[in-house]
Chains A and B, each alone.
Chain A
Amino acid sequence: MMQASLSIINFRKDEEKVKRKKIMKAAVTAALVLTSLFLLQCLLVPKYATDVVEGSLIAEYYQEEKDHDVVFIGDCEVYENFSPRVLWEEYGINSYIRGSAQQLIWQSYYLLEDTLRYEKPEVVIFNVLAMQYDRPQKEAYNRMSLEGMKWSGAKVKAIRASMTEREEFLDYVFPILRYHSRWEELKSEDVQYLFDRKKVSHNGYYMRVDVKPAENVPEGNILADYQFGENAYDYLDRMTRLCRENDIQLILIKAPSLYPFWYEEWEQQIEDYAEKNDLLYLNFLEMTEETGIDFSTDTYDGGLHMNLSGAEKLSACLGRILQEDVGLKDRRGEKELSEKWQEKIIAYEAEKERQYKENMG
């Protein structure tokens, strides 16, 4: 009897042992698979460290102290045309640019939603060129605008609103599915920035010091329809509402880029919208005297974007308006913030110097 009980106990022990072994095997396998897939994904996703650095801009925001007075949202006309350093140094305004290449208005809206999860700036500045697009455009730009966002409801909605016909939501969740064939083009930077990305912007500003004067800027093509789309207006309405609900002043701007062409009909629609919604609208294309922009020296690509000189002039003008007309406070007296900005200015100057040297070389 006792022997029988003992053998049952031994049998159960063996069974448990086998079970434990199986669980162990499954756990080790799962760990191996998940770790290797994670590492592969880290390796394969583009690092945007040297060639197309614009893809890094959106993610850099999350490393920041979130206490900004002004947040810019929009396309290249914000991240290449305004220098937060000037706004700080000359007016004590702490600002950040959440810009990305061809940022569509719904992406700007969801980036604003995302920003409000972390902070509530006094002013949000939106560049209205994005109103020209009513439908998703290019996958590559979607990726640069959306991949850097942290996961949230806003990101999910932004992806859903932005996907082109052949894009899949799952490819955003598991980027390895999108970049699976990038093993053919891996470079040393893919290993170097496997986990930590290289910082490429200065509070979202992408610096360029080279000069290419604006010459022979083409006239805009004749369009079949100059009316901004319903979808674009819908998101502009949402943006206006969101700012109002959060007691944020929304300012619409049109940066002084000569191309893409800004049509009179578009201008009229934005002016009407701003008036109807009691928003401040600044068209810097019509403020060359105030800004002092000289298109023979202040642009690096023939009038599409400002270079450092242009961006600093433009920021100086904007800072004046923000302080005098909007009434933003000068925060240069805040010790902690000033110290942080001192570090940023050093990095800014170093980058400026590097680029000047490179250009001269």
Chain B
Amino acid sequence: MLFTSYEFLGFILILFVLYYLIPTKFQWPLLLAASYVFYFLADPFYLIYILTTTVTVYFLGCRIERYREEQSGYLKDHKEELSREEKKAYKSGIKKRQWRLLLLGLLINLGILAVVKYTNFAIANVNFVLHCFGSSREFGLVDLVLPMGISFYTFQALGYIIDVYRGTVKAQKNPFQFALFVSFFPQLVQGPISRYQDLSETLFGGHKFHAETVCFGLERILWGFFKKLVIADRILVGVNTIVRNPEEYGGAYVLAGMLFYALELYADFTGGIDITIGVAQVLGITVTENFNRPYFSKSIKEYWRRWHITMGTWFTDYIFYPISVCKPMLKFSRFAREHFGEAIGKRMPVYLSSFAVWLATGIWHGASWNFVVWGLGNWVVIMISQELEPLYKKFHEWAGRRFGREIGENVLFRCFQVIRTILLMSVLRTFDCYRDVPLTFRMLGSAVRGGNWQIFWDGSLLGLGLDMADYGILAAGLVLLLVVSLLQRSGSVREKIARRPYPVRFMIWYGLFLAVLLMGAYGIGYDASQFIYNQF
């Protein structure tokens, strides 16, 4: 069920009405039922996967928690009898058992993810290696269905069990509430990857109908539809034309494609998240924000703190930090400091951990080399910019002396930084566009050579399946996105609108509704497009 389908609109409409009609204590069971119906309607077969994840993580989480309770009970009861060493040995024994359970949980769930998502990638690579060694043997690809949202709910569940292991959250004892945490339908499709401690605060409690909250939620849904249907799905036509015909559209077209894709991806992904957060808000549930105006970032590092925030923090908390402080890494750190000096030796373990994070980020996005190269490309750019930090500092000092004030405060320089970040990210995303590493390099080379810059003013862009009206709508949409982003800097736009008189509010939201209705790229004549992040 696509978020932009009539079925989904009907589904949430019925749910909203029922949700506020029934007693509040039945609201979360209703959400659980709705989430499973939502998943069932996508494909009944998917239920096997999500149930496996739910059941294994639930039981292992409870078991880990029980060990902790046993430990504290035992230590309390034998406080006087046990020596410090005995206590330490006991704790270490418990920790080991908990670790084994955690490992089991990780293996089962990452195993499922690996099998359904990466089997064919592995087979294709084995075949390639065999071919390189002159073997004629070839393994056939497997016909595996990738369950909807598996990367998202698996990571969410694993985040939970790691937190239980670390003792930062208490295990959820109610299996049905836990099942709801894993399967909460609005975020099942494309995230965000919520943390248990955040989502559980509002997910299981009763919610009385609160007109303003519901209204804000509906506004957010509408805004999401605007981004997805008016902008993302419209510009998609241009992106597809350029990307699917690389022989025909080289040079400056590649640059146009990069910029189009930057806009498409932003509108598509943030639009989807707006719908997710809006649906949850109508239900009185707070879902973690996933974006913070990422295209205003002045560096790639900053960009990744503001784009797909929940994924970034997940990788930082559950991959970067554990790797950084694991024993082999600490050993390597010592070794690096001894052999390469303090300055370099200190940075090397950080770079290595970052490498692991970006490799994982790339692989998480898709089972193909283009995503791996894309992930590592981000790593390279971040590392280079980090290495160049002293140089930047010197430049800023020089510019400060030369112009009499800090250059970072100069609007033009800030704009330059923002544009540079957008361009850099767009270049890296071409690996996502063409989905073929050699082809991407070829097309990037063609973009650098250019030669056909006139396409930007001679009307050639009208041959991409987009007419003047489309470009007009896209330009207006872009301006609106920009205005909203700028307004967001001084607080919630919806709150600002809420303070306006009723006729103004009505005109704003009805205008937006009409824009979606009349200018949305939906229905016959338009390709029904999935949200890009559904595929991950």
A residues within 8 Å of B by Cβ?
25, 29, 33, 40, 139, 166-168, 170-171, 176-178, 180-181, 183-184
Contacts and interface: CB of A to CB of B under 8 A. Distances in A.
A146 B522 CA distance: 21
12 contacts: A25-B502, A40-B514, A139-B524, A168-B6, A170-B6, A178-B523, A180-B518, A180-B519, A180-B522, A180-B523, A183-B518, A184-B467
Contacts of B506: 29
Contacts of A33: 510
B61 interface: no
A177 B523 contact: yes
B528 to A, nearest CB: 7
Contacts of B486: none
Name the 6 nearest CB pairs between A and B, nearest first.
A170-B6, A184-B469, A180-B518, A166-B524, A139-B524, A180-B517
Interface residues of B, number: 16
A178 B520 contact: no
Interface string B497-522: 00000100010001000100111101
A215 B406 CA distance: 84
Is chain A's binding surface mostly helix, strand, loop or mixed? helix
Contact of B524 (A167, A170, A176): A167
A166 B528 contact: yes
B491 interface: no
Contacts of A177: 517, 523
Nearest to A178: B523
B235 to A, nearest CB: 15
B525 interface: yes
A181 B518 contact: yes
A181 B519 contact: yes
A59 to B, nearest CB: 21
A352 B502 CA distance: 57
B520 A180 contact: yes
Contact of B525 (A29, A40, A168, A181): A181
Interface string B56-84: 00000000000000000000000000000
A183 B523 CA distance: 15
Nearest to B527: A166
B469 A178 contact: no
Contacts of B514: 40
Contacts of A170: 6
Interface in B252-298: none
A171 B469 CA distance: 23
B521 to A, nearest CB: 8
A219 B133 CA distance: 57
Nearest to B521: A181
Given A170-B6, A178-B523, 4 more contacts: A166-B524, A167-B524, A168-B523, A171-B523
A176 B517 contact: yes
A181 B467 CA distance: 13
A139 B525 CA distance: 11
A36 B522 CA distance: 21
Interface string B467-507: 10100000000000000000000000000000000100010
A177 B528 CA distance: 14
Contacts of A184: 467, 469
Nearest to B470: A184
Nearest to A177: B523
A40 B519 CA distance: 13
A73 to B, nearest CB: 26
A247 B523 CA distance: 43
A48 B530 CA distance: 34
Contacts of B469: 184
